[in-house]
Amino acid sequence: NGVITIDRGFKNTGSCESEITFLDGEKGVLRYRGYSIEELAEKADFLEVAYALIFGNLPTQEQLNKFHADIKSKSVVDDDIKKILDAFPKTAHPMGVLSSLTSALTAFNPSSVNVDSEEDMYNSIVKILGKFPVLVSWTMRKKQGLPLNYGSTSLGYVENILKMMFEQPNESYEISPIIKDALDKLLILHADHEQNCSTSTVRIVGSSHAGLFASLSAGISALWGPLHGGANQAVLEMLEAIKADGGDTKKYMAKAKDKNDPFRLMGFGHRVYKNFDPRARIIKKAADEVLNDLGIEDPILDIAKGLEQEALSDPYFVDRKLYPNVDFYSGIIYRAMGIPVEMFTVMFALGRLPGWIAQWKEMRLNKEPIGRPRQVYTGENLRSFVEIENR
Ligand code: CMC
C-alpha cells in the first residue's frame, strides 16, 4: 500500500516462513526440525544433526553413510588455496581469513554457483561440508606455523576435524572421547538459530542468486562481529581482563550498567531469549563436566559463575531480562580443548554451517524473492548543483 514501516534491527519483522528451527524465547525452547536441542545435544552426533537440518529428518544409517561418503569424496581443497592463505599476514584474524577462503572456493568450483537443479544443490552442499573443515584447520595451523594437512577418510566427521586441527608432525593423534563428545555437543548447539544476523545475511545474499559459497562467506563476516558470534572470543578476553584485575567483577558490572560507557557484559543478553538461553544451560553443565573429566582447573570458570550470579540478582539485568547466552561458557570449553581464543568464532562458524546451508536451500527451493528492504528518506530536498569553486 506504499506505507513503509520502519523496524530498526528487524525486531518485529518476519522475513520468511521456515520449517527448520523452532524457537520460543519466552519459554527458552529450541528445536531443530522438531527435535529438542536437549535431546540432540545428549544423543545425536553433529553430522546427523546437519543432515536433519538440511534434509528435514534424522537420517537412516544408510542415508548417513551415503551423505558422509559424498562429503568425504569432495573434501579435497585446491592446492592454490594454500597460496592465498600464504599471502595473509600472520596477524590476520582467522574469521577474515575463513571468509576470504570460503569466497575463494567459488573460483575453484565455478559450477557451485549454479543451482538449477536439486542435484546441483546437493553437490554444492556436500562440497562445502567437505572443504570447510579443511579451511578451518588450515586457518588455525597457518597461524601456528604448523604444516597444512588433510584428514583421514576412515574417521567420523567430527573426529576428522580434531585430527586435522591438532595432529602434530610425526606424531599420531589420539582422539580423546571426552574432547570428541564435547566438540560434537558444541557444534550441535550452534548448528542453527533461525533468522539471526548471519543466517539472514546468507539468505539475503543468496536471494540475489549468488552461489552458496559466496552467501556463506558473507554469513561468516556477519558472524564475526562481537554482538553476534564474535562474542565468544570477547567473553574470554573479558574474563581474562577481570582475572588480571584481581577478579573485580563488581567493576565490570558497574561498567556494563553505565550508559556513558560502551562496554557490555559479553555473553549476556539475547534478542529473542527473555528468560534463559537453553543452549547456555547445556554448555554451562558441559563446561563443568569437560573441565572435570580433563582434570583442568580454570579460575576463569569460577569468575564466569560469579559474574553470572551477580548479574542474575542485579535489577539492571533482571529488569532487561539479560541472561547468559550461548557464548558465555563455550569459550571455556574451547580453551580446555586447546583451541586458541582467536579461533573461537571460527568454531561457531563450523557449527553454524549446516544451519546456513539449510536456510539457503529452503530459501532457494521456496523461490523467495530478492531481499530488498525499503527506507524512509530523511535527507535534503531537491537542490541545485554548485560549482566546486563556489562551495
Ligand atoms: N550488557 C549490558 N547491557 C546490555 C547488554 C549487555 N550484554 N545487552 C543488552 N543490554 C541492555 C541495552 O543497553 C539496553 O538497555 P536500555 O533499554 O537501557 O537501552 C537493553 O539491555 C536492551 O538491549 P538491546 O541492545 O536493545 O537488545 P538487542 O536485542 O538489540 O541486542 C544483543 C541483543 C545480544 C546484541 C545484546 O544483548 C548484546 O550486545 N549482548 C552482548 C553481546 C553478546 O553476548 N552477543 C551474543 C548474542 S547470542 C549468540 C549470537 O547471536 O551469536
Task: For residue 270, indicate whether it is catalytic.
Answer: yes
The residue assigned the cell 567430527 is 158
Can you tell me which atom of ligand 1 is nearest the CA of 348? 52
SS3 1: coil
Residue among 13, 194, 320, 347 whose CB has most ligand 1 atoms within 8 A, to mutate: 320
pLDDT of residue 172: 84
pLDDT (mean) for 74-81: 95
CB 274 within 8 A of CB 25: yes
Atom of ligand 1 nearest to the CA of 270: 34
d(CA 326, CA 50): 19
Is residue 70 pLDDT above 80, yes or no?
A: yes
The pLDDT > 70 percentage for the chain reads 100
Provide the pLDDT confidence category of residue 112 given band limits of 50, 70 and 90.
Answer: confident
pLDDT tens digit string along 255-282?
Answer: 999 999 999 999 999 999 999 999 999 9
Alpha-carbon gap, residue 345 to 228, rounded angstroms: 9
Residue 198: which residues within 8 A CB-CB, separation 6 or more?
219, 220, 222, 223, 228, 229, 352, 356
CA of 369 to the centre of ligand 1 (A): 31
The answer on pLDDT for 185 being more than 80 is yes
Measure 313 CA to ligand 1 centroid, in angstroms: 17
pLDDT bucket at 2, cuts 50 / 70 / 90: confident
Q: How far apart are alpha carbons 10 and 80 in whole angstroms?
A: 40
Residue-wise pLDDT tens digits, 155-179: 999 999 999 999 998 888 899 999 9
Decide: 212 in ligand 1 pocket, CB within 6 A: no
**Span from the CA of 371 to the centroid of ligand 1 (angstroms):** 26
In single-letter form, the type of residue at position 344 comes to: F
pLDDT at 177: 93
**Choice among 120, 270, 277, 319 that is catalytic:** 270
Which residues, in sequence order, are CB contacts of 23 under 8 Å at separation 6+? Answer: 29, 30, 31, 193, 194, 272
320 lines ligand 1 (CB under 6 A): yes
Tell me if residue 209 is catalytic.
no
Q: Is the CB of 256 under 6 A from ligand 1?
A: yes
Under 8 Å between Cβ of 220 and 112: no
Asked whether residue 1 carries a pLDDT value surpassing 70, the answer given is no
Domain ranges of the chain: 19-224+341-365, 231-336
Q: Which fold has domain 19-224+341-365?
A: Citrate Synthase; domain 1 (1.10.580)
Q: Is 78's pLDDT higher than 90?
A: yes
Q: Which of 234, 218, 203 lies closest to 361 in space, CA to CA?
A: 203
In the reported structure, the alpha carbon of residue 207 is separated from the centroid of ligand 1 by a whole-number distance in angstroms of 28
Q: 160-180 burial by CB neighbour count: b if 16+ within 10 A, else e?
A: bbbbbbbbeeeeeeebeeebb
Ligand 1 pocket residue status of 229, Cβ below 6 Å = yes
The whole-angstrom separation of Cα 14 and Cα 23 is 13
**pLDDT at res. 279:** 97
Residue 333: what pLDDT? 95
The finding on whether 271 has its CB within 6 A of some atom of ligand 1 is yes
- Rounded Cα gap, residues 90 and 175, in angstroms: 28
pLDDT of residue 359: 98
Residue for cell digits 593423534?
173
What DSSP string describes 157-217? Answer: HHHHHHHHHHPPTTSPPPPPHHHHHHHHHHHHHTS--SS-HHHHHHHHHHTTT--HHHHHH
pLDDT digits (tens, 9 = 90+) for 310-361: 999 999 999 999 999 999 999 999 999 999 999 999 999 999 999 999 999 9
Per the prediction, the chain carries an average pLDDT of 95
How much distance in Å is there from the Cα of 10 to the middle of ligand 1?
Answer: 15
Closest Cα to atom 35 of ligand 1? 227
**pLDDT confidence bin for 110, thresholds 50/70/90:** confident
Residue 50's pLDDT is 98
End-to-end CA distance of the chain: 41
Set of cell numbers at residue 61: 544409517
Q: What span, in angstroms and rounded, lies between the C-alpha atoms of 53 and 32? A: 7
ipTM over 0.95: yes
pLDDT over 80 at 7, yes or no: yes
CATH pick for 231-336 out of 3.30.420.130, 1.10.3720.10, 3.30.70.580, 1.10.230.10: 1.10.230.10
Residues β-bridged to residue 35: 32
265 lines ligand 1 (CB under 6 A): yes
